[in-house]
Chain A
Amino acid sequence: MSASDRTGLRADVRPEGCPTDLPVLLPFALAEGHPPARLRPVHGWLLCGVAVVTFPAWAQGAAVAPSPLDVVIKWAPLLLTGFAFNVAISLMAMAIGTFAGIGLGLAMLAEGVVLRRIAWSITQVFRNVPWLVLLFFVMFLVPFQVTVFGLRVPLPDWVKATFGFSLPVMANVAEIVRGAVRSVPNTQWEAAESLAFTRRQTLWRIILPQCAKRMLPPWMNVYALIAMATVQASIVGVTEMLTLTAQVHAAEGGRPELFAPLYGFAMLCFFLYCYPIDRLTAVLERRFETR
Chain B
Amino acid sequence: MIEAVQAWFQRLYETTGFNFTIFYDPYDWDRYVAGLRMTLLLGISTILISLVIGAVGALLQSGPSRLLRGIVNGFVVVFRNTPPLVQIFFFYFGLGTLLPDVRSADGLRAPILDNVQWAIVSLALFAGAFNVEIFRSGIEAVPKTTVEAAEALGYTRFKAYRHVVLPLALRVCLPALNNNLINLLKTTTLAYAIAVPETLYAVKQIWSESQNVLEMMLVLLATYAVLVGVLVWIMHRWERALRIPGYGR
Report A's interface with B, CB cutoff 8 A. 34, 36-39, 43, 125, 128-133, 136-137, 140-141, 224, 228-232, 234-235, 242, 256-257, 259-260, 263-264, 266-267, 270-271, 274-275, 278
Contacts and interface: CB of A to CB of B under 8 A. Distances in A.
A232 B193 CA distance: 9
Contact of B86 (A132, A136, A266): A266
Interface in B190-249: 190, 192-193, 200, 204, 213-214, 217, 220-221, 224-225, 228-229
Where chain B touches its partner, the secondary structure class is helix
Contact of A278 (B66, B81, B228, B229): B81
Contacts of A224: 81
A242 B217 contact: no
A133 B90 contact: no
Interface of B: 64, 66, 69-70, 73-74, 77-78, 80-87, 89-90, 93-95, 97-98, 182, 186-190, 192-193, 200, 204, 213-214, 217, 220-221, 224-225, 228-229
A224 B130 CA distance: 14
B18 to A, nearest CB: 15
A140 B217 contact: yes
B217 A137 contact: yes
A128 B228 contact: yes
B77 A39 contact: yes
B130 to A, nearest CB: 11
A141 B213 contact: yes
Contacts of A232: 83, 85, 190
A133 B190 CA distance: 10
Contacts of A128: 182, 186, 224-225, 228-229
Contact of A231 (B78, B80, B85, B188): B85
Contact of B73 (A34, A39, A137): A39
B58 to A, nearest CB: 13
A121 to B, nearest CB: 11
Contacts of B187: 130
A224 B229 CA distance: 26
A161 B182 CA distance: 23
A36 B140 CA distance: 12
Nearest to A260: B94
A242 B85 contact: yes
8 contacts: A38-B73, A39-B73, A128-B224, A130-B200, A228-B83, A256-B97, A259-B93, A271-B81
B98 A260 contact: yes
A256 B200 contact: no
A263 B90 CA distance: 5
A267 B82 contact: yes
B66 A267 contact: no
A267 B70 CA distance: 20
A231 B83 CA distance: 7
A19 B132 CA distance: 48
Given A37-B69, A125-B225, A270 B82 contact: yes
B209 to A, nearest CB: 15
B221 A125 contact: yes
A129 B217 contact: no
Contact of B94 (A34, A235, A264): A264
B229 to A, nearest CB: 7
B90 A264 contact: yes
A130 B189 contact: yes
A124 to B, nearest CB: 8
A256 B98 contact: yes
A259 B81 contact: no
A129 B85 CA distance: 17
B108 to A, nearest CB: 18
B97 A259 contact: yes
Given A125-B221, A231-B83, A242-B86, A259 B94 contact: yes
Contact of B81 (A133, A235, A270): A270
Given A39-B73, A232-B190, A136 B82 contact: no
Given A136-B200, A235-B192, A259-B93, A34 B220 contact: no
